[in-house]
Chain A
Amino acid sequence: VTSAAPSLEDQARQFANELAELLEAVLPDAPPVVAELLADRVVVAPADAVPLSVQGERLASLEVHIRCRLDSRGTWLAIDQSAYKLRLDADSTPLLRLEYVRDAHTAPSAHIQVHAQRGALSHLLSRSGHPAPHDMSKLHLPVGGARFRPCLEDLLQLLIVECRVDALEGWMEAVVAGRARWRATQARAVTRDFPREAADVLRQMGYEVISPGNEADGAGRATDNW
C-alpha cells in the first residue's frame, strides 16, 4: 500500500459506512453493516438480511454480500464480487438476483437472474437443447459488464417504486446521492478504458487536453467483457 492510500481497514470502514448510511436512509429497520478483513480481502454485508415490508407488514428481505480486495497495485479497495438477492420470507428460493463476478468465465460478469417460469421461454430453450429449459434463473441476463452495471441504489429504487416496499421519508435523496457517487467512480474507470475517446469529448467541450504519447490501446479493458 502506498503512503497516499488509506489502510485497508480504513477503506473497508469507509465502504461499510457508505453502505450503512444508504440502507439506514432508505429502508426501515436496516441492520448494522459488518466488514470482515483477512489479509488483502474484505467482505462487507449487513449483519442480517435487510427486512422489506409493505404497509408495515414484513414480507421479504434483501440480502447483500460485497466481496472486495486491494487492486493489482495493492492500493485501493475494488469490488471483486457482489450479490444482491431479493427473497420472499415465505419462500427459500430467491425471486431475483443481481450479481457481479469480476473474473467470470462464461456467464456475463454483471447479470440478473430471475427465478420464474414462462411456458414460451421454456419452449424456446427446450427446442434449442438447453439443459434446464424450465428454469429461467439459469439465464444470466447481462446488465452492462463491470463498468455499466446497475448499482445497489438502482435495485433499491426498483423495490420502492415498482415493488412498492416501504421506504423512509427522504429515501430518494440518499439513492440519488449514492448513485451519483457510483457513476462518478465508474466514469473515471471508463475514462481509463477509453482515454482517446475521453480526450476527444473533452476537446469538443473546449478543454485543452495534451496526450502523454503513451495512451493505452485499450487491450484488456474491463469493457471488453460482457
Chain B
Amino acid sequence: VVRVHEVTREELLARRETILARLGTSEAELRDRSRRGSLVGDEDALLDELRDIAYLLGE
C-alpha cells in the first residue's frame, strides 16, 4: 500500500513545531544530544522525522 502526496512548506513547519513542542526542546539541542548519545525514549526516532522535514524544506 502506497500513499503519495505533495506537502506544503507551512505544513512541514507546523509538523516540526508540533514535534518540538511535544519534546519540549529545540532541534539544535536534540541534534547536540544525539551527537553525545544521550537521546531517550522516542527522541531518536523523532529526530529522524525532523531530518526528513529539514530535507524536504531544502535546509
B58 to chain A minimum Cβ distance, whole angstroms, is 7
The answer to whether the Cβ of B3 comes within 8 Å of any Cβ in the partner chain is yes
Residues B55 and A41 in contact, CB atoms below 8 Å apart: yes
**B4 interfacial contact with A, CB 8 Å:** yes
Interface string of B39-53 (1 = CB under 8 A from A): 111111100100110
The answer to the question of A9 belonging to the interface, with a C-beta cut-off of 8 Å to chain B, is yes
A83 to B47, CA, bound (A): 12
CA distance A89 to B9 in the complex (A): 32
A38 touches which of B1, B3, B8, B43 (Cβ 8 Å):
B8
Give chain B residues whose Cβ lies under 8 Å from the Cβ of A85.
44, 48
A167 contacts the other chain (Cβ, under 8 Å)? no
A residues in contact with B42, CB < 8 Å: 92
B5 contacts A by Cβ under 8 Å = yes
B51 proximity list for chain A (CB < 8 A): 65, 67, 83
Chain A positions 34-49 with a Cβ under 8 Å from a chain B Cβ: 34-39, 41, 43, 45, 47, 49
Q: Is the CB of B41 within 8 A of A92?
A: yes
Closest B-chain residue to A48, C-beta based? B45
User: Quick check: A17 and B52 within 8 Å, CB to CB?
Assistant: no
Q: How far is the CA of A34 from the CA of B4 in the complex (A)?
A: 6
Instruction: Report whether over half of chain B's contact residues are helix, strand or loop; otherwise say mixed.
Output: mixed
Count class of interface residues, chain B: 20 to 34
- Among the interface residues A20, A38, A81, A92, which one has the most CB atoms of the partner chain B within 10 A? A38
Judge if A185 is at the interface, Cβ distance under 8 Å.
no
Q: How far is the CB of A185 from chain B (nearest CB, A)?
A: 20
CB distance from B44 to the nearest CB of A (A): 6
**B6 touching A37 by the CB < 8 A rule?**
yes
Known: A49-B45, A83-B48, A135-B37. A67 touches B4 (CB 8 A): no
Chain A 184-200 interface residues, beta-carbon cutoff 8 Å to B = none
Expressed in whole angstroms, the minimum distance between the Cβ of A77 and any Cβ of chain B is 12
Chain A residues, Cβ within 8 Å of B58: 39, 41
14 contacts between A and B (CB under 8 A): A9-B4, A12-B4, A13-B2, A20-B1, A35-B2, A36-B7, A38-B9, A41-B55, A49-B45, A67-B51, A92-B40, A92-B44, A92-B45, A135-B37
Give B contacts to A, CB under 8 Å.
Answer: 1-9, 12, 37, 39-45, 48, 51-52, 55-58
17 extra A-B contacts, CB within 8 A, seeds A9-B4, A34-B4: A13-B4, A32-B3, A34-B3, A34-B5, A35-B4, A38-B6, A38-B56, A41-B56, A41-B58, A45-B52, A63-B45, A65-B51, A81-B55, A83-B51, A85-B48, A92-B45, A94-B44
